[in-house]
Structures are given as structure tokens and as C-alpha cells.
Chain A
Amino acid sequence: MYIYKTGISVIDEVKGGISPGSNILVLAPAMSSGEKLGYSIMRPTPGEYALVLSTVMRSVDLLDFFSSEKFNRDSIGVIDAVTKLSTPDISDTAQIKYVSSPSDLTGIGIKFSSIVESIFNGEFPPSDQALFPPPIRFYIDSLTTLLMYRKLEVLYQFLHVMTSKLKKMEAIGIFIMNNESFDERTLSLMKQLMNVVIEVKSEQQGDFLRIRGVPGVSHDWMQFRIHAGTLELVT
């Protein structure tokens, strides 16, 4: 069984990483490093692919961000739910698929399948370490935005279907959500779909994370920093 490295040393050293079909929820307040933490977990290692649903950043900016953080851009597909709001006539490419808005769950599902299919068909740049099924990390940035456009129950049902597909594909899901914007019921419902929850907080000394759902890994707050797209725990 393929094991996904998270880039978080305490998980990777204790458990070797996380299993296919797992879903990780990053709960982070606004203005924290939560989003970057999410991207560091999403970062594909050699032989892997990543797929991002961006409801926050335009794909063109996102690809620039990947370049600046030294990600392997070729192995990352993007579902862009932002650009069409301002550029309605923009067309899909092999790597970037556009949906009309974050409310368009039909479009998001279709573009997800389209990119996954092209990865399975070897239409993304082939890897030197070809694995089957191809390991895929799917990142939604962010649930906060999706919840602004769609009702909680609808989004829950949609994510339930998507996470089932991730499980069948032996992929993993990474989801980020602002934990200050929603009530306990919303957070609790979202957590039901997840295997691992990583909470993030920002303090004067820096950013801290706390991991729930990985047996054998401490529940204590740990200081971290992100450097060149890679997470380091500060001991």
C-alpha cells in the first residue's frame, strides 16, 4: 500500500505518513499560515500528482506561487473557480480547468473527474516512478469560500461523494477551513468526513499546530514554520 508523506515530521516518523483514502482538515484562523500549511501537505513528491480546487486565488497566481515555492508545477492540476467571474470566455487547458463560480458544484465535480482521468490516462507529464494507481493529493482551498456559496447540508453531501471517490482512487484529500467563521455544528459536520484534523493558531512567538486523529502522535501544540513550501517543526 502506498503511504503519503505529509511533510510533518511527527506524522511521517511515527506512522510513515498517512494511508490512501485519508482526509485531512486544516482548521486555521484568518491571517495565519494555515493556507501555506495546506499547500505544504498538498505538495506532490516525485511520482505523485496534486489537484487543487482554488476558490481564493486565480490559477495564474497559484502557478506563480508554486514556482516561487519550488513545487513541481507540471504534476499539479488546478480547478479555478475564480477567474471566470472576471474573464467569462477563458478556455480550459490540460492543466487548468475553469468553473463559473464556487457555487458551481456540478462544474467542480466534472472538472475534477476530467483531470483525474487525464492523470490516469498518462496525459499529464509521465513520471519516472510510474505508480498505479497514480498517487494524487486533492486540496480544496477553501471550504470557507464554498460554505459562503452553498448551504452546509448541500456541501456536506457533495464532499461525501468526493471523499468516496478519493478513497476509491486511493488518493488523499486536504481541506482548509477558517475555524473562526463557523459555529460548532458546521465544524463538527465537516470533521465527520475527516480522518485527521490539524488545528493552527498564531501567537506572538509564531505559528503553532496541533494534530488530532493520528494514533501515537502527540496532541500538544507544536511550533512550526513554512520555508520554501516545506514545513519545519521548531523544537
Chain B
Amino acid sequence: MIRTGITGIDEMLGSGIPKGTRVVFSLEPGVEGRMFMFRTVATVLQERKNVLIVAPHCTGRVLISECSELLNIDISGLEGEVHILDSTVRDTINSREKKTNSRKIAWKKLIRETLDRHSIDVLFIYFDLLYEDLGLEKALDLMPSAGQQDRITTVVEHLNLEGDSLIARFASERIFDLIISVHSAFTLVPFFNFFTLEYVSWSRMPRRSIPYTIGEGSIRLYIPKIIITGPPTSGKSTFVAHASESGISVDRGDLDGYRTTVAMDLGWLHFRGFDITIFGTPGQPRFDPIIPQIVKNAMGIILLLDATRPDGLLRARELLMLAHAEKLPLVIAVNKSDLPHHLDEKTIRESLNIRDDVPVFFISSLKQSDVHYVVESMVDRITRHPY
């Protein structure tokens, strides 16, 4: 296996990329996606494997400098050997060979010789200028042939100016074994980057979109907002507290002697490679006006019910409507199920009129394992949701 070194991606792929496969990182213009390639290069080199980088867009020194600037790692000083065919090679080939086919032959010969001479394990290709110089078919033909492919993994970075049609072609023609497209959600404000696992040849994996941030030389997958909502005393604050590594809760004692949330609960956790922020809403109707604001830009909703209080279903339904839950990934967690109760799944589904694919879990939010199971289901649903 070849690891990308990106926590979350390797886990999703089943510990990395199988040897001999072809991978493409397809970048939308403007999105900081170079880290996917750079991080994979560095990880492969750290594992004492040899790499060849075909970088026709810049000199080798610039490439190493840019990699160093992003990762804080000098890739030329790592355990594996790094060889680079850079812009000077392109200039030489283009000035010597005038015909496209001759240029392709020159590139192919040079790449093959370098792969063999240095026992290269992974070939990295910056694709754009090769595509432009040679055309798509010929540029794709530069990737190792069937005989070499068993031992050489190929990773391609490509600036996708053609949009979904090119991705669809890559997938339908099985040109790559793994297709990851990298995008930014650019509305008025460039507010978040995300990547999509478009296709994986070695595993039956659904198409998934996952937001990420870049910091301290690495890619961090993140879910900026998961909402926990539910009727009063259903255990939302307890859920947030047990789900989170750190957090705050704004509670006050009410007239009945219960603690009640008066603004929101806020928790942070790092879970299965994701940085996640959880927001718990108040359950009391007097706070209803602020719920649409808390829910704004949420990526998923966990509705918490109290298994011992069937009378809370009406309020739960009001909260789902306030949160516009029909548009977002939704998970139902029925808390206090370790206590005697009569509330069953059928009643819940009928009362809330929820979709068949919305899971309903019976849990105790006092148990961290139950809480994490619900969060895991929520993360899974978020990453499958077509944003």
C-alpha cells in the first residue's frame, strides 16, 4: 500500500492506495489542493520509497521550495530518492521535437528509463502542460504500461478546467483507479474547500464529499457544524459533553429544579481523522427564535429524544421544522433507553414523519461509546451527502 499521509483519506481507502494503481487529484481552479500531491510525495519518501516527479511547469528547485514552504519539509532530504523531470526537460523536448507524437515518444522514453534506472516506486505527474502539449490521449499514455504498472503507482495532479465531464470520462473509461476532485464552495465569500471521492476501483465506496482545511503542513478534514437538537431534558448537554474533547455549556437552573440550556452547548472533537464542532440548541420554546441562526450552515442534525417521554415527540417535530432538517443529513438518537420506556422506532417514525433512510438509535448519552456511535453515523451521512 502507498499512504497519502492525509489522516482520514487513508482510513477511508482502507489504509492507503494499492501498489500499481493510478490516482488523480483533479483540482478546480483557485482551490488550494497542491497539498494532496505534496503530502503524498513526502509520505512516500518518508517510507523509504523512490519517487519520480514529472513537473513540466517549473524547475526542480522551485518545486522543492514550494513543497518546503507548504509542508515545512525538505523532500530532497528524506529517506527515499527523489528524481525530477522539470520545465528544463520540457523546454529541451519541445525545442528538439516539433511533432506531438515525437514529443510523446521522447517523454515516454525518458520516463521509462528513469523509472527503471532508479527503481522508482511512485511516479508523480503534473499533468496540465503535458495535456496541453500532447493532447489528452498521448499525455495519459505517458503513465506506466501494464508490465510496469504492477510495481509502479502513478499519482497525477491536474487543473480541471473542463469540469464534471472530464471527471466522468476518467471514471467511465477506468483511466484511474482513484479519482479525487478538489473544490471550493465559492459563493460570495470563498468559505470552504472540500474534496470528493469520485471513484475507487478497488472498493465499493459511495461518492463522498468532505470539507478540509490546511494548516501546519497538513490537510485536516473537518465538519464545521453538527447540530444537536431535541426537546427539553432529552440530554443534549450530556450528549455534547460526552461527544467532545472540550466544550462549553451555558446552563441555568429552571423553576422545576432542572438544568436547562439558555444559549447553546458547544463542543469540539477530533474523530476518525475529522475535526468536528458540535452545537447543541436549547430545547425550550422560548429560545425558538435563535434556532434558525444556530442551524445556519450546519452540515447535519442529530435529533435527541427522551425514550421515557413520548410526549416530547410533538416538540421534537417542531424543532425539526425550525431547523429545516429535511434538507440536511439527519440521525435520530433516542436517549435514556437504558431506563424503562415504551417509545419504539415505529412510533417515532410515524410521529416525526421522517424518511426511511434516517437511522434511529436507542442509546444512553451517559455512555461515550453510544454517543460516538451516533456521531460516527452522522459523519458517514454527511460525507455521503451531495453538497
User: Is B189 among interface residues, defined by CB-CB distance under 8 A?
Assistant: yes
Contact (Cβ within 8 A) B65 A110:
no
Nearest chain A CB to B190 CB, angstrom units: 5
Which of B54-62, B113-121, B171-179 lies at the binding interface? B54-62
Contact for A110 among B34, B69, B128, CB less than 8 A: B34
User: Is A154 among interface residues, defined by CB-CB distance under 8 A?
Assistant: yes
Interface string of B40-81 (1 = CB under 8 A from A): 000000000000000001110111011001000000000000
Interface string of B123-149 (1 = CB under 8 A from A): 000001100100000000000000000
Contact for B27 among A100, A101, A106, A170, CB less than 8 A: A106
Closest to A155 in B: B161
Contact for B58 among A100, A105, A110, A158, CB less than 8 A: A100
Which of B180-188, B234-242, B252-260, B313-321 lies at the binding interface? B180-188
Q: How far is the CA of A154 from the CA of B158 in the complex (A)?
A: 13
Contact (Cβ within 8 A) B30 A100:
no
Among A101, A103, A133, the most chain B Cβ lie within 10 Å of the Cβ of A103
Contact (Cβ within 8 A) A105 B128:
yes
Question: If A88-B61, A100-B58, A158-B29 touch, does A113 touch B159 (CB 8 Å cutoff)?
Answer: no
Question: If A100-B57, A103-B57, A109-B29 touch, does A89 touch B186 (CB 8 Å cutoff)?
Answer: no
Contact (Cβ within 8 A) B190 A116:
yes
Which of A45-53, A160-168, A177-185, A191-199 lies at the binding interface? A160-168
Q: Which residues of A contact B32 (CB under 8 A)?
A: 110, 113-114
Interface residues of B, CB < 8 Å — how many?
A: 31
Interface residues on A, range: 20 to 34
Q: How far is the CA of A61 from the CA of B29 in the complex (A)?
A: 28
Contact (Cβ within 8 A) A101 B187:
no
Question: If A88-B61, A109-B30, A161-B29 touch, does A168 touch B162 (CB 8 Å cutoff)?
Answer: no
Q: Which residues of A contact B343 (CB under 8 A)?
A: none
Q: Which residues of B contact A84 (CB under 8 A)?
A: 58, 62
Q: How far is the CA of A76 from the CA of B87 in the complex (A)?
A: 31
User: Is B31 among interface residues, defined by CB-CB distance under 8 A?
Assistant: yes
Interface string of A76-94 (1 = CB under 8 A from B): 0000000010001101100
Q: How far is the CA of A54 from the CA of B62 in the complex (A)?
A: 18
User: Is A120 among interface residues, defined by CB-CB distance under 8 A?
Assistant: yes
Nearest chain B CB to A103 CB, angstrom units: 6
Nearest chain B CB to A157 CB, angstrom units: 4
Question: If A92-B69, A106-B34, A158-B29 touch, does A151 touch B132 (CB 8 Å cutoff)?
Answer: yes
Q: How far is the CA of A106 from the CA of B66 in the complex (A)?
A: 13
Interface string of B222-246 (1 = CB under 8 A from A): 0000000000000000000000000
Contact (Cβ within 8 A) B57 A101:
yes
Question: If A88-B62, A101-B58, A114-B32 touch, does A154 touch B189 (CB 8 Å cutoff)?
Answer: no
User: Is A70 among interface residues, defined by CB-CB distance under 8 A?
Assistant: no
Q: Which residues of A contact B159 (CB under 8 A)?
A: 105-106, 109
User: Is A219 among interface residues, defined by CB-CB distance under 8 A?
Assistant: no
Interface string of B20-32 (1 = CB under 8 A from A): 0000000111111
Contact for A169 among B61, B128, B188, CB less than 8 A: B188
Q: How far is the CA of A150 from the CA of B59 in the complex (A)?
A: 17
Nearest chain B CB to A193 CB, angstrom units: 14
Q: Which residues of B contact A169 (CB under 8 A)?
A: 188-189
Closest to B184 in A: A113
Q: How far is the CA of A116 from the CA of B187 in the complex (A)?
A: 13
Question: If A103-B57, A104-B58, A165-B186 touch, does A113 touch B30 (CB 8 Å cutoff)?
Answer: yes
Closest to B63 in A: A100
Contact (Cβ within 8 A) A170 B186:
no
Contact for B186 among A104, A157, A158, A168, CB less than 8 A: A168
Q: Which residues of A contact B65 (CB under 8 A)?
A: 88-89
Contact (Cβ within 8 A) B190 A170:
no
Contact (Cβ within 8 A) A120 B189:
yes
Among A114, A150, A154, the most chain B Cβ lie within 10 Å of the Cβ of A154
Q: Which residues of A contact B28 (CB under 8 A)?
A: 161
Assuming A157-B162, A165-B30, what are 14 further A-B pairs, CB within 8 angstroms? A88-B65, A92-B69, A101-B87, A103-B57, A105-B159, A106-B159, A107-B34, A110-B34, A113-B30, A117-B190, A154-B161, A168-B186, A168-B187, A169-B188
7 smallest beta-carbon distances between A and B, as pairs: A100-B58, A157-B161, A109-B30, A109-B29, A113-B30, A88-B61, A88-B62
Question: Which B residues are closer than 8 A to A by beta carbons?
Answer: 27-34, 57-59, 61-63, 65-66, 69, 87, 128-129, 132, 157, 159, 161-162, 184, 186-190
Q: List 16 A-B contacts (CB under 8 A).
A: A88-B59, A88-B65, A100-B66, A104-B57, A105-B128, A106-B157, A109-B30, A110-B30, A110-B32, A113-B30, A120-B190, A151-B132, A154-B128, A157-B162, A165-B186, A169-B189
